[in-house]
Structure 1
Amino acid sequence: MIIAERSDFRKYASVNPHFSKVCDFLENTDFTTVEDGRVDIDGDAVFANFMTYEADGVPGQQFETHKKYLDIHLVVSNTEKMAVSAAVDATLKVDFDVQQDIGFYDSEIYQMVTLTESNLLVTFEEDFHQPKIRVNDEPVRKLVIKVLNAEV
């Protein structure tokens, strides 16, 4: 897991061969002009999903993980909390779906991360995460960048 200021993300470019494309995207995109939906950055190797929603999650309800893609979570407007846990503390809730690249887990042991408009959270396969935890009643505008896992 990486928690960093967006402005510092280029320091992590060597972690994954596709992170330099993410850096370029972050540095050259005006997020206020992007509509909800998928945005291609580098084909199926790197793409972003923009979304707007009301965060309604309760910490510890359902964690997810991915194998084929890493997630980079960025809040564009408002604030959101995310719960993070580890495989050792989690129990399988729904079998891993290879087609959708997602597995769901329960965990009573977790930490909270606050995502603001200036930071980001990178989750790897071993980083079980629960997004959309409510901070306030305002809509959250967010993007999740999906990055092909270099380990797969």
Structure 2
Amino acid sequence: MIVTERNNFRRYQNLNPYFPQVCDFLESTDLLSLAEGRYEIAGNNAYANVMSYISDGIAGSGKFETHDNYLDIHLVIQGKDKIAVAVPRKAKLIQEYDKNADIAFYQSEEFQVIDLNEFNLLVAFKEDFHQPKIRVNDELVKKMVIKVKVE
């Protein structure tokens, strides 16, 4: 897992062959102007999904997700959000890996909660089981999740 200020993300560009293109996208795009939907960064190798919602999750009470083929970069465009993160050794499988959806679900009683705001981001690798949309308040959150192919 990486949690960093958004403007420091380029420091990690060598960790994945598509990170430089993600950095270029983040540095050259007015994120506030983006409508909800999918945005191509590097075709199916890196793309962004923009969504809006009111966070209503309770940390640890829902499902933690993980992905084999893509890592997730979570960042808030507007508002505040939280994401809970658990480690595999403390988690129990509750839904087998679905290859087509690239997702498996776990439960865990041990986790940490990360605050997400308009200035930071969180990179969740396969071993970073994550539960997004943890409730902060009743305000609308505009968020982007960038899916990056694991090479």
Normalization by structure 2: what TM-score? Answer: 0.98
What runs of 5+ residues in structure 1 fail to find an aligned partner?
A: none
How far, CA to CA, are the matches of 1:80 and 1:97 in structure 2?
A: 27
The corresponding residue for 2:16 is 16
Match of 1:127 in 2: 128
Per the alignment, residue 113 of structure 1 pairs with: 114
Task: Specify the code of the residue in structure 2 equivalent to 1:49.
Answer: N
Amino acid at match of 1:90: A
What CA deviation, in whole Å up to 9, does each residue of 1:55-96 have, x standing for no partner?
A: 000111210000100000000011111100011000011111
When the two structures are superposed, what TM-score results if normalisation uses the length of structure 1? 0.98
Q: Which amino acid aligns with 1:10?
A: R
Summarize the alignment of residues 1-152 of structure 1 with structure 2, pairs less than 5 Å apart. Answer: 1-60=1-60, 61-150=62-151
Deviations 1:7-26 (A, max 9, x none): 00000001111100000000
AA aligned opposite 1:148:
K
Q: Structure 1 stretches (4+) deviating beyond 6 angstroms? A: none
Cα shift at 1:32: 1.5
Once the two structures are TM-superposed, the CA of residue 135 in structure 1 deviates from its matched residue by: 0.3
Equivalent position amino acid for 1:20 in 2? P
Cα distance between partner residues in 2 of 1:50 and 1:108: 29
Amino acid at match of 2:82: K
The count of corresponding residues between Structure 1 and Structure 2 is 150
Partners of 2:32 and 2:78 within 8 A in 1 = no
Provide the secondary structure at the position in 2 that maps to 1:42: coil
Residue 33 of structure 1 and its aligned partner are, at CA, apart by 1.3
CA displacement at 1:53 relative to structure 2: 0.4
